Structures are given as C-alpha cells and as structure tokens.
Amino acid sequence: MTPSSLRLPRTSASTRRLPLFVLVVLAALPWAGISGQEPSGPRPVQVDDAFRLRSVGSPAISPDGEWVAYTVTTTDLEEEERETRLWMTRADGTGEPIPMTRAGESVGGPEWSPDGRFLSFTATRGEDAKSQVWVLDRRGGEAWALTEEEQGVSSYEWSPDGSELLLVMRDEEVKDSAWTSDRRKPWVIDRLQFKRDRTGYLTEEQRYSHLYVFDVETRTTRQITDGDYDDSSPAWSPDGRWIAFSSNRTQDPDANSDTNLWIVSADVEEPVTEPRQLTTYTGGDGSPAFSPDGRWIAYTTGTHEPRYDAFGTSHLAIIPSEGGEAAGRRILTERLDRSVRSPEWDRDGLGIVFSVADEGETHVARVDVGSGMIERLVGGELAVGGFDVAADGRVAARISRFLLPGEIFITEVPVATAVSDRRALIEGARTGGAALERLNKLTAVNDSLVSELALADVRNIHVESSGGATIEGWVYTPAGWDGSSRLPTLLRIHGGPNGMYGVGFNFDAQLFTSKGYAVVMMNPRGSSGYGFDFGMELWQRWGIPDVDDVMAGVQEAVELGVADPDRLGVGGWSYGGILTNYLITKRPDVFRGAVTGASMALLVANFGHDHYQLGNEREWGLPWENREMWERLSPFNEVERVQTPTLIMGGESDWNVPIQNSEQLYQALRRRGIPTELVVYPGQPHGIGPAAYQKDRWERYLEWYDRWVKGEGLEKPVT
C-alpha cells in the first residue's frame, strides 16, 4: 500500500467533483470554446456513439516546429470497416487541418524526414500486399512506396541525415509446396513459450524480428542482426554509425525476461557481426535513445527482482554508449516511485523527457541529467497518450479528460516546476507544468459529437480499505441527476490486474450513466500509478485486498446517497472479469447482476493452455509443487456460493485468458440453476475487434444489467 506521507496532495472530494458548476468553468477555458460549443449537450449517449467517436493519436512535430502531423481513426459500423488517415495542422493553431492521405486506406507510424520535406508512414496497399514505408511531399502530391520488402515492414526510423531507414522486419517465410491452404502443415513445437494470443502457436520455424538498413537512394537493404532472437526498439546514434536496440539473447528467452540493450554498427556487411551487450539487468531494459552528442543512451529499466515485473515500476536510466553499463550506469528516477515510459532527449542534451502514470493521471515530465531534478511539463487532471517534443522544447500530446475524448494539444513554451527530494517528487511535482488551460488545442475531431451528448458528472473519491490502505476511485452519475433518489449502480473493474482507471474519457461509464446508472470505478491494490508497494500488495493475493478495495468504493457510493444498495451490479473484462468472479463467490449476497468477460476461475485449468507460462510460474509456482496456492486463489472452488445472475462472455480464439475457463464457470452455474448465459465471439482473441461484435457486447451488457439490476422484464425482483 502507498503510505499516506507519500500521497500526492488532493483537493477534497467536493471540489474534485465535476458537476454543473465545473461545467461553467470548463466552458470558459480556451480549449473548451474552440468549436464554439459547450462540452456537453442534451442527448443521452447511445451505443452507436462509440463508433462515431474518432481516435486521434501519434502526434509528430516537424523539424522546423511549424507543423504537427497526427492520425485520425474512424469506424464505419455499417460497412464493418476501420481506417486511419494522416493529417497535419499548424503548430500555432492557425488555419485548417490538412488531410495528407486519402480516404479508404489506413496508415500508421507517421514520421518526418530529417529535412522536414517529407512525411512518411507505413501502409498496406494493394491485393496481397505487405506493410511498406510510404512517403509524400508535405507540399502536395501522391504518396509512393519507398520500400518493397517481401516480408513487410513492422516499424522504421529515419537515419539522422535522411539517407537511410532503419527497418524492423520478421524473417522471410519459408514456403513448402507440399502443404496447401486445404491441407496445412502441422505445427511442430519445441519451445517453452509455445503460443501467444493473436499470434498463435510458436513453432520450430518461428520467424524472428531483426534489424535492417535501407538505403533511400539505391533502395537496397542490408540485414544487420540475426539469430533466434527478437530485436526491437532500435535507435540511431546521432552520427548514423551505430544502432542501439533491445533484445533477449539468453540461451532460452522463454524462461526469463532478461531483455538487455545491445549496440551494433550500422555499416555491417554480410556476414552479420555480433552486437555488443550494453546492459546486464536480468529484467527488462528497453526504449533506448541516444543523447544529441552520442555519448549517452537513455533507456527504461527496473530496480526490483524480475519475478515482480507484473507489479514493478520502470525507471529512467542512462549509460555511456562506448562502455555500456560497466562504464557507469545512472538511474535518474529511482526516487520517483512511478513507472516512466518513452524517453526523449532535449535538443541540448541536458534533460530527458518522458511520460509518467500517476494516480489516475498521465503526465509529461523532464529530468535534468546533471541534478536529477524532475519537472512536469504537462500536468494536472488529464491523461496524456502519445507525445512529441519540438526542438524548442514545446510538447505536442494527445490529451483526454472526463468530458473530453482524446485531442492533440501543444504547449506554447516549456512550463515547468522543478523538484528534487523524494517527497516533493511525488507530492509537489503535480502542481507544476502546463495544465490544460495553458495548452493550445490543435484538433477538434470530436467536438461536434460531444456537443450533442449529455455527459456524466464525475466525483473523485478516496476511501479507507483493509489494513489502512487508501484507495482512489471515481463515481459517475447521470447528467442532471438531482440527488433526490438513489440510483441503480454498477461497479466496473479494470483489467491487468495492473491496469489503471483515470481521468480520461471513458465511454463505458458515459453509456451506462446515460441509461440511468451510477458507475463506480476503483483503482484497487495491484493497480499501476501508485507505486511499487501498492502494486505488490496483490502479489500472490488475488481476490483478497482488491475485493476489499472495490467494495469500499461501493460502500462510499452508498454513503454518499448515490448508490441503491438493493440494486447493485458488477462486471469487467480480463482481470475485471476475474475479480468479478471473486466478488460473486466471496460477496454472494451483494450484487443482483454480474457480467464476467474473458475471465478465469479455475487457475490450474489454464496451466499450459494460456500464454502466461512464465508469469504465472513466477507468482504462483508450478501447480504440482505449489498446488495449494493455485487452488486457494481459484474462485471456481467456491462456485457453490454464487447467487448472482451472471452473463459470461469471451472470444473463441483467446489464448490470453482462454474461453475454457468461461465454459467451466458457465457449466457450473447452469448446473446449479443460477441464471446465466455464455456468449462466445467466433474467431476473436482476447480483445474483441469487429465493430459489430463490440456493439453486440455493449447491448448485451445493458440488457443483462437492465434485467437483473434494475429488475426490468422480471416477474418479480431477484432477492
């Protein structure tokens, strides 16, 4: 748990609530009035609005700082199609956004060429085509394919002088004419990690990802890494001579998470030479980035035992590029008990910018390399997605809030407040940086839709749970609710278990409140954003402290006069479904209706069947050596206690949390006479993809909750 002395200062629940008086304040802010409309409107949210919302991302600032490129993803529910187009807009907010790619085709990975003349992206265009790097002149004209790689390009990065591209590609597929689409070659497996959700079986002929250098002028490609390893996150040195990357090159990568940084010459010729190892931490090292002078490499790393990776915090470190870790590693953010991601050096090489998840919020921060002082460049009650840093220090980022689906914002000038001691790092740093009212909003792709919608009021709560732990959460209530009557209330639970609810726009909550429900969302122990100790409270204790934590949030909603204790529902997906299973077995008389999606109930049934062979063994041991723990943590073993009507859902091809456990839970409840249904989405992995299936899922959520929580359609209420 997080000691109270290390908690960030909070305003009271009454001032953190977002009811009508805050809407007036929000409307007065510069970002709220760009579209000329209020941030919320009179119409209730409907299921189909999920597909009217557009997803904005991948901001990239041009080298001259004048333009920001970004992507916009739209969904056509009727045609079952999703597309991502590339746009750009002026960084000063003037003028209209310019579409850079045509409708009907999707792109990804936008980057500027070093001279700023070209925009590049990955796209798959044409029948039976593979993903390639495409370029277009920002002044106009059609895009053209720069690469023509047989195996397709996974990711890429321009060399500093623009003469080459660094490509990540999988090995070429070896074709065997003896096997056809009607008579497929059998899977022959000899690996410990033998399957992955969305990927399938990992066979003896596994194709690995390696690094290649593509010459832009000659359009020739040379391979610079090889072997039975996956190489990722490559970065050029400023002089273009070296490439740093991340790879697990141990004898059996499936048996550990020992991903280290390596460096290899960009001028490698056949045969491929052996890269030089830079780091030795036995956990995960990643995201390398060279300093502007090439002397240092920044990267993310851990400071805990690798077996605790699921709940651990990642930190920012630097090492000399010449000598690696042995020449002097420095961890710059160890005192900041929060995970950091996506490091980028300042242009002057004096600081490193990164994102940090912090108690439901995600900020952009900077650490001074010399002093270790940390400052928040973009902070406050907001959630930052992707970001990019301009040469002059401005930050462009995708930002979301309770009432604001993600849009692109940019800081006018670097604004920060530096702090150095541990307590200030966690408590005081939040007050620095550019909050939303001091950012320029560059996009307004969802303003028109949001202006139509009656969005929920949101109240931030902090509750005391078992062991004295303080747990944060949010209570959503329908727009315009006057508080005169209690509401049917849904406890919705995030996945992970190391996920995190936060201050960003949440469509599920908006949909449920539009149907007359209050929604409680908690960050129980095990959630990220609250430090290492808080996460580790759930280690080997699934379904114990987190049950207390989410129930404390429900009780708070009752005491606030919001929740009707006789009309409570619960549900979630992945670990949200697993914790739902714990709740309906451990608190059988609380909830009138439950929805458990992609969940697990009998842990041992998943051994050798899901893709968590390493993580589960690290936490629970092997089932024949530590069977007591596997059984003690299995809610299935208390299934005889369940009284709650439960809708069970999952994907047919889910190898993250296989449908087998959902089938077992369904069969048990069906045999016991508990109202239940099993819904399986054909061919779907852990995340449900097709829009029609997503729509179906939301509609089934609502039908089940309306029937059992509200009691609609029942001859008599369930007791």
pLDDT of residue 586: 96
Q: Which residue has the higher pLDDT, 495 or 203?
A: 495
Which among 519, 645, 518, 642 is positioned nearest to 593, based on CA atoms? 645
pLDDT in tens, 519-538: 999 999 999 999 999 999 99
pLDDT in tens, 118-157: 999 999 988 778 999 999 998 878 899 999 999 999 999 9
Together in a domain, 562 and 608 = no
Together in a domain, 589 and 562 = no
* 399-414 average pLDDT score: 90
Which among 442, 348, 435, 362 is positioned nearest to 62, based on CA atoms? 442
Mean pLDDT (the chain) is: 88
Percent of the chain topping pLDDT 90: 74
E strand or H helix that includes residue 22: helix 20-28
Tell me whether strands 563-573 and 487-493 are parallel, antiparallel or unpaired.
Answer: parallel
**Of 56-60, 510-514, 606-610, the least confident:** 606-610
Whether 420 and 334 have beta carbons less than 8 Å apart is answered as: no
Together in a domain, 487 and 531 = yes
Residue 497: CATH number of its domain: 3.40.50.1820
pLDDT at 196 over 60: yes
pLDDT of residue 190: 83
* 318-334 average pLDDT score: 85
Please give the single-letter amino acid code of residue 370: G
Residue environment code for 648-680, b if the CB has 16+ CB neighbours within 10 A, otherwise e:
bbbbebbbbbbbbbbebbbebbeeeebbbbbbb
pTM score, two decimals? Answer: 0.88
* 303-327 average pLDDT score: 86
Q: Is 606 contained in some domain? A: yes
Which among 504, 442, 349, 444 is positioned nearest to 61, based on CA atoms? 442
Which among 502, 509, 522, 299 is positioned nearest to 399, based on CA atoms? 502
Structural domain count, the chain: 2
pLDDT of residue 271: 59
Together in a domain, 528 and 480 = yes
Residues 181 and 187: their CA atoms lie apart, in Å, by: 14
pLDDT at 448 over 50: yes
Tokens representing 205? 């002929």
Together in a domain, 585 and 679 = yes
Residue 182: pLDDT band (50, 70, 90) is confident
pLDDT of residue 431: 43
Residues 88 and 96: their CA atoms lie apart, in Å, by: 9
Residues 359 and 523: their CA atoms lie apart, in Å, by: 9
Residue-wise DSSP of 163-179:
SEEEEEEEPPPPP-TT-
Percent of the chain topping pLDDT 70: 88
Together in a domain, 511 and 594 = no
pLDDT of residue 421: 45
Whether 504 and 537 have beta carbons less than 8 Å apart is answered as: no
Residues 215 and 269: their CA atoms lie apart, in Å, by: 13
Q: Is 498 contained in some domain? A: yes
* 534-554 average pLDDT score: 97
Tokens representing 567? 């009309």
Residue environment code for 685-695, b if the CB has 16+ CB neighbours within 10 A, otherwise e:
bbebeebebbe
pLDDT of residue 505: 95
Q: Is 334 contained in some domain? A: no
pLDDT of residue 606: 92
* 294-310 average pLDDT score: 91
Q: Is 380 contained in some domain? A: no
Using alpha carbons only, what angle is made at residue 505 by residues 45 and 397, rounded to the nearest 5 degrees? 140
Q: Is 166 contained in some domain? A: no
Q: Which residues contact 198 (CB under 8 A, 6 or more apart)?
A: 685, 686
Together in a domain, 554 and 680 = no
pLDDT at 86 over 50: yes
pLDDT of residue 598: 96
570, 589, 604 - which closes a domain: 570
Together in a domain, 706 and 644 = yes
Residues 371 and 427: their CA atoms lie apart, in Å, by: 19
Which among 311, 254, 259, 310 is positioned nearest to 288, based on CA atoms? 259
* 78-100 average pLDDT score: 93
Q: Which residues contact 327 (CB under 8 A, 6 or more apart)?
A: 319, 320
545, 570, 595 - which closes a domain: 570
Whether 289 and 298 have beta carbons less than 8 Å apart is answered as: yes
Helix 507-514 with 691-708: angle, nearest 10 deg = 40
Cβ neighbours of 207 (radius 10 Å) = 15
Q: Which residue has the higher pLDDT, 418 or 403?
A: 403
pLDDT of residue 436: 66
Residue 66: pLDDT band (50, 70, 90) is very high
Together in a domain, 652 and 671 = yes
Together in a domain, 562 and 639 = no
**Of 7-11, 226-230, 563-567, the least confident:** 7-11
546, 570, 594 - which closes a domain: 570
Together in a domain, 673 and 644 = yes
Q: Is 31 contained in some domain? A: no
Q: Is 197 contained in some domain? A: no
Calculate the alpha carbon distances from 149 to 86, 153, 154, 397 in Å: 22, 7, 11, 32
* 245-250 average pLDDT score: 95
Q: Which residue has the higher pLDDT, 700 or 268?
A: 700
pLDDT of residue 270: 58
What domain range includes position 502? 1-9+456-570
pLDDT at 36 over 70: no
* 613-632 average pLDDT score: 94
pLDDT at 9 over 60: no
Together in a domain, 536 and 591 = no
Q: Is 387 contained in some domain? A: no
Most confident of 40-49, 250-259, 420-429: 250-259
Residue 719: pLDDT band (50, 70, 90) is very low
pLDDT in tens, 278-289: 999 998 999 999
* 365-369 average pLDDT score: 95
